[in-house]
Amino acid sequence: MPSVKKSLNLAANGNLMELDAIVIGSGIGGLVTATQLAAKGAKVLVLERYLIPGGSAGYFEREGYRFDVGASMIFGFGNKGTTNLLTRALQAVNVSLETIPDAVQIHYHLPEDLNIRVHRDYEKFLQELIENFPQERHGIRQFYDECWQVFNCLNAMDLLSLEEPRYLTRVFFEHPMACLGLVKYLPMNAGDVARKYITDPTLLKFIDIECYCWSVVPAEMTPMINAGMVFSDRHYGGINYPKGGVGQIALKLVEGLEQAGGEIKYKARVTKIITEDGRAVGVKLATGEEYRAKRIISNATRWDTFEQLLPAEEMPPTEKKWQQRYQKSPSFLSLHLGVEADVLPLGTECHHIVLEDWQKMELPEGTIFVSIPTLLDPSLAPEGYHILHVFTPSWFEDWRGMSENEYEEKKEEAAGRIIERLEKIFPGLDAGLDYMEVGTPRSHRRFLGRDDGTYGPIPKRKLAGLLGMPFNRTAVPGLYCVGDSTFPGQGLNAVAFSGFACAHRVAVDLGL
């Protein structure tokens, strides 16, 4: 007989107390929801299938190296405005993190020797771009300045649930122009705005890769609201690396959650969301244990939530409609490398994008992403060594149905191809290798519990900006979603927003 915990937890006074909310998963989306709810006095339990928190923002340690699971380019750690959502999420539960500012967001190495660095200093970045495209000097400024208009609207107001009418009324009266600005930009895509000002085909391709490297789609499919956030905040709050590695964000949020009275259980894989009369009332774990709560919040992807945790054949029509509009983005092939420090020339930047042929930008192994977090925090590697996290898009289907040997061989071949391409930027990389671990879409599926290891949802065709992305409530009463399958999509700062919004909506529904 499985043990059944009918939402009964012991309160400090020894009385039995009902859980207000269960959060399935401790990615940054799930943890921000949980900490926000706990800070409002809700009794929250987070159930995480893995051994540590963080999901895509987790870490692992090997032979003296501490590797980030995902990228190390972190937005949201600014110290002013309202869009610094990671800073705010930590503050809400009385914890904080030391961060290290990054002077250059990305160094692009593009076809025909187009080399561009996105400096933290906005004017310096514009000048470098204008030097490469002098005939487009006005268009460049007009496009990026319009991104600031979006950002300034967002950065003026409290960022909470757009599903809460009283909040919407309040922000509208407090910031009418900013709200109208956002209403204007919600259905727009960055590519259409860029084409108003820019005609040079190579510069338009540059705008494409500026979007692709975080949205995994070209500019014409990238929502303008998100482009406004990314293209401005990198110069405003900046890109800041958490001291001790990206994994510290989740560890700190857990510390704050526990101090605020919340609880997290690891190795707690939810296999089923329990419904009664069509309402979500609890969850069942792989061990057979059951937990019940007033509200259930899933930080798993929508595909996992509505096809695995709930019966796929009972998928609500709204979800079917969403799946017609959005598809899973590719996953990544990841090389976690430890390299001798002298492989990196003095002045090397922390993040690089490498592409040799514009036609290949969206293809598997087309664009290469490189993060070198040890340039900002050397404590993550043994003295005299650096970490290179190299990743490139790859589809789950390409890694299916092979023997263990075939799988290992395919990994080695793919790693060899990537390292050979990187030799042009970091000569001596191969000879300087000290450690290498290769992750595939299968690893992403296995360790992050994400369907097909996907990085997140992408539009199947050109859509009206962010309008198609669902908020946190779902068609199943009592069930909410949070994370990159909800508005506004991928990115740690974006899922932090989704966490703030989800907790706000749930708190109002709970009458807190």
Ligand X SMILES: NC(=O)c1ccc[n+]([C@@H]2O[C@H](COP(=O)([O-])OP(=O)(O)OC[C@H]3O[C@@H](n4cnc5c(N)ncnc54)[C@H](O)[C@@H]3O)[C@@H](O)[C@H]2O)c1
Ligand Y SMILES: CC(C)=CCC/C(C)=C/C=C/C(C)=C/C=C/C(C)=C/C=C/C=C(C)/C=C/C=C(C)/C=C/C=C(\C)CCC=C(C)C
List contacts with ligand Y (CB under 6 A): 71, 73, 75, 106, 154, 159, 162, 168, 171-172, 179, 182-183, 213-214, 225-226, 229-230, 351-353, 369-371, 488-491, 493-494, 497
Q: Which of 87, 481, 490, 502 binds ligand X (CB under 6 A)?
A: 490
Q: Which residue's beta carbon is nearest to the bound ligand X? A: 27
118 binds, among ligand X, ligand Y, none (CB under 5 to 8 A by kind): none
Closest CA to 325 of 470, 125, 137: 470
Dist CA 49 CA 42 (whole Å): 22
Contact 227, 243 (CB under 8 A): no
What are the tokens at 151? Answer: 């950002």
136/304 with CB nearer ligand X: 304
Q: Which amino acid is at 38?
A: A
The nearer residue to ligand Y, 306 or 332, going by C-beta atoms, is 332
Q: Which is nearer to ligand Y, 36 or 275 (CB)?
A: 36
Q: Contact between 306 and ligand X (CB under 6 A)?
A: no
Q: Which segments of 204-278 are extended strands (E)?
A: 239-242, 263-265, 270-276
Q: Which is nearer to ligand X, 157 or 492 (CB)?
A: 492
The full 3-state SS of 443-459, as one line of letters, equals: HHHHHHCCHHHCCCEEE
Distances (CA, A) of 92 to 88, 129, 260, 367: 6, 39, 10, 38
Smallest distance, Å, CB 23 to ligand X? 9
Binding partner of residue 256 among ligand Y, ligand X, none, CB under 5 to 8 Å per kind? none
Out of 350, 495, 506, 507, the residue judged to bind ligand X by CB under 6 A: 495
Q: Which stretch binds ligand X (CB under 6 A): 24-32, 105-113, 378-386, 503-511?
A: 24-32
Q: Which is nearer to ligand Y, 22 or 482 (CB)?
A: 482
Choose the contact partner of 241 out of ligand X, ligand Y, none; CB within 5 to 8 A by kind. none
Give strand pairing partners of 326. 459
432 binding partner (options ligand Y, ligand X, none; Cβ < 5 to 8 Å by kind): none
Which of 22, 35, 48, 257 binds ligand X (CB under 6 A)? It is: 48
Cβ neighbours of 141 (radius 10 Å)? 15
Burial class (CB in 10 A: 0-12, 13-18, 19+), 166: exposed
**Minimal CA–CA distance to 108: which of 96, 119, 98?**
119
The yes or no reply on residue 27 touching ligand X (CB under 6 A) is yes
Binding segment (CB under 6 A) for ligand X, from list 321-329, 430-438, 490-498, 503-511? 490-498
3-state SS assignment for residue 4: strand
Using the rule CB under 6 A, give the single segment among 137-145, 311-319, 374-382, 488-496 that binds ligand X: 488-496
- Taking a C-beta distance cutoff of 8 angstroms, is the pair 502, 158 a contact? no
Span between the terminal Cα atoms of the chain, in Å: 36
Sign, CA torsion 395/285/474/52:
negative
From ligand X, ligand Y, none, which one binds at residue 102 (CB under 5 to 8 Å depending on kind)?
A: none
Which one, 191 or 262, has the nearer CB to ligand Y?
A: 191
Q: Report if residue 459 touches ligand X, rule: CB under 6 A.
A: no
- The option from ligand X, ligand Y, none interacting with 27 (CB < 5 to 8 A, set by class) reads ligand X
Please give the radius of gyration of the chain, using alpha carbons only, rounded to the nearest integer.
22
Cite the DSSP H helix spans in 136-223. 137-154, 165-174, 176-185, 190-197, 201-215
> In a 3-state reduction of DSSP, which class is residue 10?
strand
State the binding partner of 171 from ligand Y, ligand X, none, CB within 5 to 8 A by kind: ligand Y
Site for ligand X in 413-452 (CB under 6 A): 448-450
Residues 49, 25: Cα–Cα separation, whole Å: 7
Taking CB atoms, the residue at the shortest distance from ligand Y is: 491
- State the DSSP code for 345: P
Task: Report the nearest approach of ligand X to the CB of residue 61 (Å).
Answer: 17
Q: In angstroms, what is the minimal distance from the CB of 73 to ligand X?
A: 8
Cβ contact 184:193 at 8 Å: no
Work out what residue 304 binds among ligand X, ligand Y, none; the CB cut-off runs from 5 to 8 Å by kind: ligand X
CB-based contacts of 156, cutoff 8 Å, min separation 6: 82, 175, 178
Residues that bind ligand X (CB under 6 A): 24-30, 47-50, 55-57, 70-71, 269-270, 299-300, 304, 332, 448-450, 455-456, 483-484, 490-492, 494-495
